[in-house]
Amino acid sequence: MSIVVLATFQAKEGESPNLLNALRESVPEIHNEAGCSLFALHEGDGGTIVLIEKWESEGLLETHLAAEPVANLVRRIQPFMAYDPTVTRLNSVPAGTSAQGTI
């Protein structure tokens, strides 16, 4: 069963472009990881950046979290973060059409 992760990052004052660029640097490396179905950045108001991830399984997500690309991501973003990201793991609750009712 796939798992979705929602991670919200808050940039320090004036550091939103730097935080977004640091996150972007990690995307190609993570897209190449086994089990990565989605790893997509979204920019909100006031320096908020939301990352939506989808992994093929809990096990592959755990492998990702212990892998070098995540260590690289953390190292890149650390200087620009106002505080630690909020990370939420989500299990799909399908509703409506299969194309619209699940990620």
Which pLDDT belongs to residue 1?
83
In a domain, 100, yes or no: no
Confidence of residue 18 (pLDDT cuts 50, 70, 90): very high
Q: For position 92, what pLDDT does the model report?
A: 86
Within a domain: residue 13?
yes
Tell me the pLDDT of the chain averaged across its residues: 94
Q: What is the CATH number of the domain that holds 45?
A: 3.30.70.100
Residue by residue, DSSP assigns 24-67 as HHHHHHHHTSTTEEEEEEEE-GGGEEEEEEEES-HHHHHHHHTS
Residue 103 has pLDDT above 90, yes or no: no
What is this structure's pTM? 0.90
Answer yes or no: is 44 within a domain: yes
pLDDT one-digit tens code per residue, 29-51: 999 999 999 999 999 988 899 99
Q: Would you say residue 103 lies in a domain?
A: no
**Does some domain include residue 77?**
yes
The number of folded domains in the chain is 1
